[in-house]
A = this chain, B = another copy of it.
Amino acid sequence: MTDLLKKNIALNVTLNDQEFARFAEPFRVTTVQKKEFLLQEGEVCGFEAFVNKGCFKVYHLNDKGFEQVVYFATENWWITDIDSFIHQTPSQLSIQALEDSEILVINKADKEKLYEDMPKVEKLFRVMTQKTHIALQRRMIDTLSKTADQRYQDFLQRYPDIASRLTNIQIAAYLGVSHEFVSKIRKKISRS
């Protein structure tokens, strides 16, 4: 149940079996059906979750009513609306399952107890947040300086396993372009 989680955190911090047991204790296994929402805009996000199986999109509905995908999360990714979770303010993001999924959920109070009880957990989430931040910084640079064509191809190369589970419409919502234009990019690629 928590095997994948154990491997995941081992990337950032070393815990012995007893420490990991304490860490894993407050997590609850939850199954989520395709199309089900973990969080809807306006709700306060009280959880953080680790994806054991399945796929989610974390997105914002912009002024024009378009979904802007902040990120996709498949096996081994963490999901939350970090802004709403930390500040306990209404969420501007929604989180929806794109496949039948299984996640490990921890609530805010339990996570804060972990921070207090285990200094290594501070380090774990510091390092995880830093890595996430680095990835987002790179995406920011690419978004501002590359064409949609290049960004589409970069996405396929960087996340081939995720891309194959998504529709063009979902990928377009991540890249911030219309799905019709993604379709035209694909046509152009297939000709060359």
- Alpha-carbon distance between A134 and B146 when the two chains are bound, in angstroms: 23
What is the CA–CA distance of A137 and B143 in the complex, to the nearest angstrom?
13
Q: Which residues of B contact A141 (CB under 8 A)?
A: 60, 62, 68, 70
Task: Give chain A interface residues in 40-77, CB to chain B under 8 Å.
Answer: 60, 62-64, 66, 68, 70
The reply on A86 being an interface residue by CB < 8 A is yes
Select A70's contact among B82, B122, B137, B146, beta carbons within 8 Å.
B137
Interface size on A, residues (CB 8 A): 33
- Looking at A70, A115, A133, which has the most chain B CB atoms within 10 Å of its CB? A133
Docked pose: A71 CA to B141 CA in angstroms: 11
| List of 6 A-B pairs having minimum Cβ-Cβ separation, nearest first | A144-B176, A126-B126, A62-B145, A122-B122, A83-B134, A133-B133
A to B CB contacts below 8 Å, 11 in the list: A63-B146, A68-B144, A68-B145, A83-B137, A115-B123, A125-B126, A126-B126, A133-B136, A136-B140, A140-B140, A143-B143
Chain A residues close to B by CB (< 8 Å): 60, 62-64, 66, 68, 70, 82-83, 86, 115, 119, 122-123, 125-126, 129-130, 132-134, 136-141, 143-146, 175-176
